[in-house]
Amino acid sequence: MVDLRESLRVPPGSRARLARRDPAATFGWEKAAAETELGKQLLRLAELQDRFWAESKRAVLVVLQGIDSAGKDGTINKVMEAFNPQGCPVTSFKVPSAEELAHDYLWRVHRSVPRKGEIGIFNRSHYEDVLVVRVHDLVPKPVWSKRYDQINAFEQHLTATGTTIVKFFLSIDKDEQRKRFQARYDDPTKRWKFAMGDLEERKRWDDYQAAFEDALSRTSTAAAPWYVIPANRKWFRNLAVATILASTIADLKPQYPPVAADVPPDLVIE
């Protein structure tokens, strides 16, 4: 099988070229085999997190981005189930509050960065400030266009001070989004998630794709790379994210701390 981490990464300095990336691609994987492999990767993630939490020397930040219904919540639900919740905080970034708007746009993000020992998940992120604000013209172009470099500098600071960043863009096509919206509406247990505003956003599909492509192209760096995950098939999405995340954490080689010097090697507790 191909190396998913290499195949799905946006090489630094290159264009993401989303139109050339197939959201339905599976890179040779079949569903049954992928689900078996996913189970192995989840066990691997659980073991890696246990050592990472015990070591508590570094942090990992996972950024999830994608258009509405791309599967951010589903990815968190399925892949992050491998982690002990006490070491895996999830932050969802919604419309900024009055307090957040009173600060610079990165303030609310920086205060949510995971602590040492934690694997933190951002459901949406600081990238909304070069996505939705651009598409909806919420700030002038001379303002948001400077934010790519500001975000790169911010992420460079985080990586230089002990936070490993791995960024996933969940890519679906427009017809798959239509199917998911319809399924959400048709299911009485999920209709509460549906909003008419989703359809208004859908009309801006091309604008969002252009914004995503620029963001991925300008902020995929050696220290904080972007991975474009084909997400039409949820089972492949889960496998790709789990595999890349496990390999990224494994590269850090987390180790259990040494046993305290005063603990004997052959203690028998009565």
Lowest-confidence pick of 19-28, 84-93, 259-268: 259-268
Q: Which helix (H) or strand (E) holds 229?
A: strand 226-230
pLDDT cut 90: percent of the chain above it = 97
User: What is the average pLDDT across 68-87?
Assistant: 96
Strands (E), 116-195: 119-123, 163-171
Judge whether 244 lies within some domain. yes
CATH number at residue 28: 3.40.50.300
User: What is the average pLDDT across 40-46?
Assistant: 98
pLDDT tens string 129-141: 999 999 999 999 9
Judge whether 112 lies within some domain. yes
Query: Which tokens hold the place of 182?
Result: 């319809």
122: left (phi over 0), alpha (psi -120 to 50) or beta: beta
The whole-model pTM stands at 0.96
pLDDT range class, residue 90, cuts 50, 70, 90: very high
Q: Does 163 score more than 90 pLDDT?
A: yes
Number of domains, the chain: 1
pLDDT, residue 237, reads 98
Residue 252 is classified by DSSP as: T
Judge whether 31 lies within some domain. yes
User: What is the average pLDDT across 224-245?
Assistant: 98
CA-to-CA dists, residue 53 to 3, 56, 128, angstroms:
27, 5, 29
- Work out the mean pLDDT of the chain and round it to a whole number: 97
pLDDT range class, residue 197, cuts 50, 70, 90: very high
Judge whether 260 lies within some domain. no
pLDDT, residue 72, reads 97
Host domain of residue 247: 4-251
User: What is the average pLDDT across 87-101?
Assistant: 95
pLDDT, residue 211, reads 98
pLDDT, residue 188, reads 95
Beta bridge partners of 122: 63, 91
Judge whether 256 lies within some domain. no
pLDDT, residue 52, reads 98
Q: Does 1 score more than 80 pLDDT?
A: no
Instruction: Identify the three-state secondary structure at position 269.
Output: coil
pLDDT, residue 244, reads 98
User: What is the average pLDDT across 82-96?
Assistant: 96
pLDDT, residue 15, reads 97
Of 178, 190, 248, 226, nearest to 64 by C-alpha is 226
pLDDT cut 70: percent of the chain above it = 100
Q: Does 115 score more than 90 pLDDT?
A: yes
